[in-house]
Structure 1
Amino acid sequence: MEKGPIGVFDSGYGGLTVLKEIVHLLPQYDYIYLGDNARAPYGPRSFETVYQYTLQCVKWFFKQGCPLVVLACNTASAKALRTIQQNDLAKIDPSKRVLGVIRPTTEIIGQYSPAKKVGIMATNGTVQSKSYQIEIEKFYPDLEVYQQACPVLVPLIENGEYDNSGTDFFIKKYTNALMMQDKNIDTVLLACTHYPLIKEKIQASLPDNVQVIAQGSIVANSLLDYLQRHPEMEERLTKNNALNFYTTDSTDDFDQNGSVFFGQTVRSKHLDLNSISC
């Protein structure tokens, strides 16, 4: 079969924190990253809208020759992944695969919590989907899960306002609201790929005994495991250490902000929305 790169998708910049960890662990592969910044954020949008946007982008990745696409976006994983996997892949190309960030995280999150009480900080869309509660229940039925929507954090982070007192105020507001649900929560999962940029601030606003978990390394290790278990997919991936970035909005903005999320210089190309909407 035709070989191609791994596609990594996010509504904006956040997925770059996941791609960063994937590339660190699996540097030999080729990657295409697409940030749908022109239509971000996905968090407040309806299930149907997120599904349609995500499906359009997945189809675009397939047209670029990607046999495997990772939805490095919690909202897209929560609102679109299952429908794409169950209904669309068979029609588009049954040999290709789309993976998300929720399942890899929920498979191991229980290992971090001796108290069996986990807090989830996420966007409105991810919280409303209850995807984490549903998936964690499958692996850890005795684990208590508490969710806290943090609607202001993504806009603040994407506008570069994550290192000021205003952001500190909202972080404290959300962490206090989460801990008020159960003071014995001992593990907080950052179920949004933007939040690693403010992980230290979130950690500082929580009690000392509470650990904060980001998803990047979890997803990277899960992808490694997946490719080891599916050599037929691994053989379809090109290995030239190539990285290509695309955004549906301003490349200047993407390069400036994306470099912060990715931890190194990013040079992107503009992708016209019409080319993925047709």
Structure 2
Amino acid sequence: MEKKSPIGVFDSGYGGLTILRKLTSIMPSHDFLYLGDNARAPYGTRSFETIYKYTFQAVKWFFEQGCPLVVLACNTASAKALRTIQQNDLPTLGADKRVLGIVRPTSEVVGDYSNSKKIGILATKGTVKSESYKIEINKFFPDVEVFQEYCPMWVPLVENNEFDGAGADYFVKKGIDQLLKQDKNIDTILLACTHYPLLWEKIRKYTPIDVKLIAQGNLVAESLVKYLHRHNDINDKISKNGARTFFTTDDAQNFEEQANIFYGSSIEAQHVEMN
């Protein structure tokens, strides 16, 4: 009998835990193995080559743990490394395994939320510069115009537990104002960074009430469920005991303390070296 193993979920740090939280909610019986590359975070300002190198190392590690499927729960890694790994590395690294991102499943549906056909993207510098959302959204919704703004202070605010403090207001309002200045008819804003849901209340506060806000967690979780329904060969390889295991490339105790903010419950983490 073929050995069954968990789904791997990867992020440069903590943000992917907001995706994992939705995945475990909608797929409670599936086992998940999470890895945060906190020692080398953030990825948002790094080069394509560096992000590919780090992401490839993580994918290889997941495969060594037996994971038949890896989800890159990081917009920057999905935008800058996924395609190369899928096309160039999987045939030799694990032809029977799969690596999925979160840009495509979001892009497949986000256009349905907009009446004006004007969508705004708030993301990290790396995701914005990759143009991945513009490219992918226009594949599915060629009549939709996409506007982007990167928010360099938002991730540090979240990771330093300042996301609900008064100091965050200035930077949140600034990012939203700069995005909406690009076109007054933007009626939908996608939070294309997994950290940003923690700023939801402040983002909503400074966003016009008639502009829709979309976080990715539910979209990615629903897309993965549909994917596994279509690919029984992959789903059959996944263990289903409701187990969740957490690893970090940085200090495990610190990861445990921070993870609760993103994941919504306490966890136990283990340290792993990545090279």
Same fold, TM-score > 0.5, yes or no: yes
TM interval, shorter chain, is over 0.9
How far, CA to CA, are the matches of 2:238 and 2:207 in structure 1?
Answer: 42
Match of 1:206 in 2: 207
- Once the two structures are TM-superposed, the CA of residue 2 in structure 1 deviates from its matched residue by 3.4
Matches within 5 A, 1:195-234: 195-234=196-235
Gapped regions of structure 2 (runs ≥ 5): none
% identical equivalent positions: 59
Matches within 5 A, 1:89-104: 89-104=90-105
How far, CA to CA, are the matches of 1:150 and 1:257 in structure 2?
Answer: 21
Matches within 5 A, 1:184-199: 184-199=185-200
Match of 2:154 in 1: 153
Match of 2:168 in 1: 167
**8 Å contact 1:203–1:211 — kept in the other structure?**
no
Aligned partner of residue 174 in structure 1, secondary structure: helix
Letter of the structure 2 residue corresponding to residue 199 of structure 1: W
How far, CA to CA, are the matches of 2:72 and 2:168 in structure 1?
Answer: 27
Q: 1:39-77 CA distances to partner (integer Å, 9 max, x unpaired)? A: 000000000000000000000000000000000000000
How far, CA to CA, are the matches of 2:238 and 2:164 in structure 1?
Answer: 39
How far, CA to CA, are the matches of 1:230 and 1:14 in structure 2?
Answer: 27
Letter of the structure 2 residue corresponding to residue 248 of structure 1: T
Match of 1:6 in 2: 7
TM-score for the superposition, normalised by structure 2: 0.98
Letter of the structure 1 residue corresponding to residue 99 of structure 2: V
- Once the two structures are TM-superposed, the CA of residue 166 in structure 1 deviates from its matched residue by 1.7
Matches within 5 A, 1:27-42: 27-42=28-43
Matches within 5 A, 1:3-82: 3-82=4-83
Letter of the structure 1 residue corresponding to residue 126 of structure 2: G
Match of 1:183 in 2: 184
**4+ runs deviating over 3 angstroms:** none
How far, CA to CA, are the matches of 1:102 and 1:118 in structure 2?
Answer: 15
Match of 2:246 in 1: 245
- Number of residue equivalences: 274
Say what the alpha-carbon RMSD is for the aligned residues: 0.7
Match of 1:235 in 2: 236
Letter of the structure 1 residue corresponding to residue 228 of structure 2: L
Aligned partner of residue 162 in structure 2, secondary structure: coil
How far, CA to CA, are the matches of 1:261 and 1:117 in structure 2?
Answer: 30
Aligned partner of residue 32 in structure 1, secondary structure: strand
Letter of the structure 2 residue corresponding to residue 103 of structure 1: R
Letter of the structure 2 residue corresponding to residue 186 of structure 1: D
Letter of the structure 2 residue corresponding to residue 46 of structure 1: S
How far, CA to CA, are the matches of 1:198 and 1:266 in structure 2?
Answer: 22
Match of 2:107 in 1: 106
Q: 1:161-220 CA distances to partner (integer Å, 9 max, x unpaired)? A: 111122110000000000000111111000000000011210110111011100000000
How far, CA to CA, are the matches of 1:201 and 1:112 in structure 2?
Answer: 21
Aligned partner of residue 270 in structure 2, secondary structure: strand
Letter of the structure 2 residue corresponding to residue 137 of structure 1: N
